Amino acid sequence: MLSYTEENYLKALLMLSFQNEEKPEVGTNDMAAYLGVKPATATDMLKKLKEKELVLYEKYGKILLSDLGRKKATAILRKHRLWETFLYKKLDFSWDEVHEVAEQLEHIQSEKLVNKLEEYLDFPEFDPHGDPIPKANGDIPSIDKTLLSAVTIGEACKVVAVKDTSALFLQYLEKLKITIGTKIKVTEVIDFDGSLNIQIENAATRSVSMKFADSLFVKR
């Protein structure tokens, strides 16, 4: 059985690999920065994971999940996102609260419990933040999406996921009454700084920054 720390490293490697799927290899410094640890600490753990045949790693080289490591990491991510969905839909946690609690629940080992949880939730494909929930067989659902910043003037779209899942951004979205499924129309793009004026669900127009637009995924 893997320790919680080992599981956290595997999930972190998987998440980092998603950032560039064409080159899923990850550097030690990237890994350390993502987890908030020193590079030497990350190196020591990677050696342990290599001994367990969970990662492909050479000193000073790039890190890649092995087939076994990816399978375990995907299972951990599956549990995390199912628990987030459960907390949000059934226990009325807000979407900025679920991540921290799911970080604890994702280490539960019972596969039967996880499968029952998925069935209880009616087999959701996406979590409260719009991220895909891996299936029991490891398949990960996909959806066409683009950043709000890529939407042109006059174009209507629908929010499908958040790129920035920080509590501050999620709380700001909630304040604007924007959630997964909210319809948005870009009414103006300001040349000076790239900020956008958007109409939210036929409500009043709001001005948002380029940083905001680069943090929200939509579907045209």
Structure tokens given for 59 = 């000193």
Secondary structure of residue 55 in the 3-state scheme: strand
31-67: string of b/e by CB count within 10 Å (b at 16+)?
A: bbebbebeeeebbebbeebbeeebbbbeeeeebbbbe
Per-residue pLDDT of the chain (220 residues; tens, 9 = 90+): 899 999 999 999 999 998 876 666 788 999 999 999 999 999 999 999 999 999 998 776 789 999 999 999 999 999 999 999 999 999 999 999 999 999 999 999 999 999 999 999 999 999 999 999 999 999 999 989 999 999 999 999 999 999 999 999 999 999 999 999 999 999 999 999 999 999 999 788 999 999 999 999 999 9
- Please report the sign of the dihedral spanned by the C-alpha atoms of residue 140, residue 22, residue 161, residue 81: positive
Residue 173 domain boundaries: 146-219
**Four-point Cα dihedral 134, 88, 149, 25, nearest 10:** -30
Both 167 and 212 in a single domain?
yes
pLDDT at 61: 76
Both 17 and 53 in a single domain?
yes
pLDDT at 22: 63
pLDDT at 83: 99
Residue ending a domain, choose from 44, 65, 86: 65
pLDDT at 20: 72
**Four-point Cα dihedral 155, 158, 161, 162, nearest 10:** 60
Both 125 and 181 in a single domain?
no
Both 120 and 90 in a single domain?
yes
Could you give the CA distance from residue 199 to residue 207 in angstroms, rounded to a whole number?
Answer: 9
Could you give the CA distance from residue 99 to residue 19 in angstroms, rounded to a whole number?
Answer: 19
Tally the domains of the chain. 3
Residue ending a domain, choose from 82, 114, 142: 142
Residue ending a domain, choose from 18, 49, 65: 65
Both 111 and 167 in a single domain?
no
User: Contact at 8 Å (CB) between 198 and 189?
Assistant: no
Both 84 and 52 in a single domain?
no
Residue 173 belongs to domain with CATH number = 2.30.30.90
Residue 85 belongs to domain with CATH number = 1.10.10.10
